[in-house]
Structure 1
Amino acid sequence: MDFAELGEFGLIARLGSRLHFRSPNVKIGIGDDCAVYECAGDKYQVVTADALLEKVHFNLSTISAEQLGRKALSVNISDVAAMGGVPVLALISLGVPRKLTVKFLDAFYDGLDQISRKYGVELAGGDTVASPELFYINITVLGEAKKDRLFTRRGARPGDKILVTGSLGDSALGLKLLRSPRKNWSATSRDKKTVVEKHLDPEPRMAASRMLAGSDAEITSMIDISDGLAQDLGHICTASGVGADLYAEALPQSAALKRICSRNRLDCMEFVLGGGEDYELLFTTTPEDVKKITEESQKTEAPIAVIGEIVPEPGKLSLVAENGRREPIRKPRGYDHFKRGKKG
């Protein structure tokens, strides 16, 4: 069996099954956005780590050093937000090739510092080594979450409503434009900028996370959308032992995405369902709590929309049209490191 056959998530499960020691202080290990461990008081510690590799996650010809610094830290903060946590400190390890300049690293750290100050995350250490060819980034973020307001992928129940922050698909469309710069895209410069910036400079939905954690609404599951709506919803369904119906007409799309797709004969739904790197919060709640959540979301940086409902059939994902017609989402849509090519 090779990596392509196993896939990224199959490989994670396989390797995890070979680890047998379990600490009583670790409440959540492999399989969620963050690891969670017990500490004194009314809070858990949450920990997440993400690796970014040149020519896989980013291309230095399409992203500035400052943007890369902002994105590298933001995507980790997004994982903490998905658990209902608050980021506290970060550790960064770099593999630096000789082709990079000190000026580049200065700008990269300027980007890190901007996000560090914005979200109150201290860059407290790490490691730096020489890399033979490619730029490698690994960031670990530690945070805190209240024990009675910890959000996980497990817990979605039949009848729960599915909600999401912001809009979907812009990042993937922005990546498509970046990968084909010479193509004569029919799009305004403003629309191009909107979708490209969503890919290069994602915004972790920390304000929405804090709003949800501070409310009395019952949040039964949550994840951030890094691998695509369908795939990440699939993670919730797998962890919770349920299925899901997505309302096609309710999936939030930006005006820029709609216009670019229409003018270039592209299918919006391909980006919305399978694009990835949206870093929006996808979560489930009871029908009774929907109104208070959507009303409160008007005070945050991103509106929250109801996009579907949890159903009893484990693993069954369906796209439901306005006329009630159901289309099964058979194949996982979204990013898998070992089944697809470059991510960024």
Structure 2
Amino acid sequence: MYLTADSRIALLMHEGTQSNMGKTGLSMLRYSSSPIVAVVDYQTAGRSLQELTGIPKAIPVVESVAAALAYHPTVLAIGIAPSGGKLPDPWFQELEQAVQSGLSLVNGLHTPLAQHPALAPHLGPNQWIWDVRQEPPGLTVGTGQASQLPCQRVLAVGTDMAVGKMSTILELNRAAQGRGLKSKVIATGQTNLMLGDDGVALDAVRVDYASGAVESAVLRYGHDYDYLFIEGQGSLLNPASTATLPLLRGSQPTHLILCHRAGQTHIANCPHVPIPPLPQVVDLYEQVSRAGGAFAGSKVVAIALNTGHLSQAEAAQALQEAQTATGLPCTDPFRHGVDLLLNAILAYPI
């Protein structure tokens, strides 16, 4: 574990506080158990974090890593994912400044930095660079053994990428533990790993071993917990996504929660690809989980609808329409909490 309760994090968020590029950082701002002492974003420096993001925390937004040093961070975490996975030169120079100033570095990008010649030579004692996206050693192919576990395995699936799968899983686990249930999150992406949950950075794993990597993480905890909440990735509908099928096969889920952004009719990065009506998407995921009877399969028990872009009245209408269309419980985890989703899971024991 690199990050602890004593870590003081400066979050590199250039151009990310109000865009999908900053999804990792925004999740850290919501869920990190380590204190975040400054947000670095030259575009929004000096503005209120709560007004920018809706996250009710009084964390200063500053223009540079140099300015963030005044808040005595011990770690710089990269909270953005620029197109192509590489930081522009001026932003990389801020990583150099952070390391030379004694900060450790959390890197969620695809490009490894731990051995970078501009960074590694400047590391001092007790200073480190954590490349989060790494393939674990010793992986094998999947075997479907997770289906034999006694625990309930809840997987979030989606109609597209970035529709709320991780947040839904984190909120469900928090609610389950609040009810005294023995539950755990299985992380499958860099953000969740940076938050401290165990698992695997699935997009760093060679495709032949992807389902085996998920299976290994699930088997590691499946006998010690009653509920495993497994972070979803990608979508069966998105032509760029390769993660969803290995998640279904590796985790052998007992329950599915379908996540969708209200009103979205096409894949965000592929506008020529339509999103089918929700009942058809529900049927798709259930059929793929069964694979024609090769596996026990799983049921979509509820819909998590992302309505953050809608007014209260519009959101209420969207929730009602989704519930009517699918016949399933439907809620927005951020507006209304996840009790309705958790109740649906508990009402459908396997």
Do the two structures share a fold, i.e. TM-score over 0.5? Answer: no
TM superposition score category, shorter chain reference: under 0.3
Q: TM-score under structure 1 normalisation?
A: 0.28
Q: TM-score under structure 2 normalisation?
A: 0.28
Question: Greater relative contact order: 1 or 2 (C-alpha under 8 angstroms, separation 6 or more)?
Answer: 1
Question: Is the strand fraction higher in 1 or 2?
Answer: 1
